[in-house]
Structure 1
Amino acid sequence: MTPIEASHMNKSNRLRAIIFDCDGVMFDSRQANINFYNHLLSRFDLPLMDPNEIDYVHMATGRDSVAHIFRKTPHFQEADAYRLQMDYTPFIKDMIIAPGLKDLLLKLQSEFILAVATNRSNTIDEVLGQNNLTGLFDMVVSSLDVKNPKPHPESVFKILSFFDLPAAQAIYIGDSSVDYETARDADVCFVAYGNDQLDAPFKVNTMMELEQVIQKFEGCWKADD
């Protein structure tokens, strides 16, 4: 590769957008999800979620989660309608914000486009608002903003299209196989957060480690490329 080719590659792949998943990255929301969906089940006098159901609702949309945990009952439509009118505020206290998240966003916001692509639906705005994060993101895409939620890449495509960015100038930070598939199918570089089992070119466990990846990012190249 000539110096001119290398220079062109670096310029065309300059990182411009950082896209975050919500649950499992920005927040440890596992207990909040457990409490929320168990509350929904108890409303209909049904048993609490088992471990497999807990794993499922951590990654799925609200509607898909309700469909899954009510799959053996006749109550899905009624339960989903109840979910949509529930006040999520009491459950936000069970969400633990990632240490260093807000400080990192404040550092990055003047240099990068910051966005969220999440399978949360009508709760994401309240979650961000209650944690004073709303004004730190340039765009938030929930499952209600797309026809095809994750793992379909539509949410990431929507962000790239809005800011007229090529995929090579963005990274997506997620914690699950759903997030991995989303990034892969959007052709966006994937950063695995808190999950070493995922096949990702970058793996981090803290916001400090994520900041180091962002600072040193020169493209999503594998060692044998």
Structure 2
Amino acid sequence: MNDVRVVAFDCDGVLFDTVEANRAYYNHILAHFGHPAMDEHQLRYVHIHTVQQCVAHLFADDADRQAAMAFRASIDYGKFLKYLTIEPHLKALLDWMRNRYKTAIATNRTDTMERLLREFGLVDQFDLVVTSRDVERPKPFPDPLFKILSRFGVEPRQAVFVGDSEVDEATARAAGVPFIAYRNPALEANWHIESLEEIKGFLQGSGTA
């Protein structure tokens, strides 16, 4: 992997453990409209899709969806940050990559991404952040990774994408970018890792498939 110049990361499940934050956030919206809390299938869905897709998935009626989106816009996301935890070894990895690689985020989050990075002191750690608002077609389409490749003027083989879901796998495949699967051995990937600190070894050429 000596030719790699750009390392791109998914957000949820890779940079942060967001399961409980997502649960609390969407259950808060559901409760406001008198709906029951999410089941595990719905929780998995909201982990990997855009907020528009998630609301559409949770609210079958079109009028309810519109009302839910309007209510969602009024929510202060800050109250849910206490449910988030940063992934182990992330800050050390980003510090090591600084001045060695370009770093980017490709996420299906929308207007919560900037707040999240600011709260955890990571705003200056990434050279580019691509949310679902920044592309015409969000993940699993390749557009977020294409935007990253274009920004840094690199070929797909000169980048890697670190993700944890089927959506991330499909995005990397569609873009032709080598994929590192994080803590999900069921995914088809070029490499599998259980800890972010393993990425350093891969980038230095010592990682194993």
Question: Where on the TM-score scale, by shorter chain, does this alignment land: which range?
Answer: over 0.9
Instruction: State how far apart, in whole Å, the 2-side matches of 1:94 and 1:212 are.
Output: 31
Instruction: State how far apart, in whole Å, the 2-side matches of 1:120 and 1:73 are.
Output: 22
Map of 1:195 onto structure 2: 184
Superposition CA RMSD, Å = 1.7
Map of 1:184 onto structure 2: 173
Q: Write out the 4+ residue segments of structure 1 that deviate beyond 6 Å after TM superposition.
A: none
| Runs of at least 5 residues in structure 2 that lack an aligned partner in the other structure | none
Map of 2:158 onto structure 1: 169
Q: Return the letter of the residue paired with 2:42.
A: E
Segment of structure 1 superposing worse, 84-93 or 41-50:
84-93
Instruction: State how far apart, in whole Å, the 2-side matches of 1:62 and 1:212 are.
Output: 35
Residue 79 of structure 2 is aligned to residue 109 of structure 1: no
- C-alpha deviations, 1:104-128, integer Å up to 9, x for none? 1011011100000000000000001
The secondary structure found in structure 2 opposite 1:171 is: strand
Post-superposition offset of 1:92: 1.2
- C-alpha deviations, 1:79-125, integer Å up to 9, x for none? 01221231111111111100110111011011100000000000000
Structure-2-length-normalised TM-score: 0.96
Name the count of aligned residue pairs: 209
Residue 96 of structure 2 is aligned to residue 96 of structure 1: no
Map of 2:140 onto structure 1: 151
Instruction: State how far apart, in whole Å, the 2-side matches of 1:143 and 1:81 are.
Output: 18
Equivalent residue for 2:193, pick from 181, 198, 204: 204
Q: Return the letter of the residue paired with 2:79.
A: P
Contact 1:174 1:180 in 2 (8 A): yes
The secondary structure found in structure 2 opposite 1:206 is: coil
Distance change (3 Å), C-alpha of 1:201 and 1:124:
same
Q: Return the letter of the residue paired with 1:54.
A: L
Residue 22 of structure 2 is aligned to residue 33 of structure 1: yes
Instruction: State how far apart, in whole Å, the 2-side matches of 1:163 and 1:93 are.
Output: 34
Post-superposition offset of 1:209: 1.4
Contact 1:84 1:122 in 2 (8 A): no
Map of 1:63 onto structure 2: 52
| Runs of at least 5 residues in structure 1 that lack an aligned partner in the other structure | 1-9
Post-superposition offset of 1:72: 5.0
Residue 129 of structure 2 is aligned to residue 140 of structure 1: yes
Structure with greater Cα Rg:
1
Instruction: State how far apart, in whole Å, the 1-side matches of 2:206 and 2:154 are.
Output: 17
Post-superposition offset of 1:162: 1.0
Q: Return the letter of the residue paired with 2:26.
A: Y
Structure-1-length-normalised TM-score: 0.89
Instruction: State how far apart, in whole Å, the 1-side matches of 2:36 and 2:140 are.
Output: 29
Query: Equivalences for 1:77-88 in 2 at 5 Å?
Result: 77-88=66-77
Instruction: State how far apart, in whole Å, the 2-side matches of 1:82 and 1:180 are.
Output: 32
Distance change (3 Å), C-alpha of 1:217 and 1:173:
farther
Instruction: State how far apart, in whole Å, the 2-side matches of 1:161 and 1:73 are.
Output: 37
Map of 1:119 onto structure 2: 108
Post-superposition offset of 1:73: 6.9
The secondary structure found in structure 1 opposite 2:83 is: coil
- C-alpha deviations, 1:165-214, integer Å up to 9, x for none? 11110000000000000000000000000101101120001112122112
The secondary structure found in structure 1 opposite 2:104 is: strand
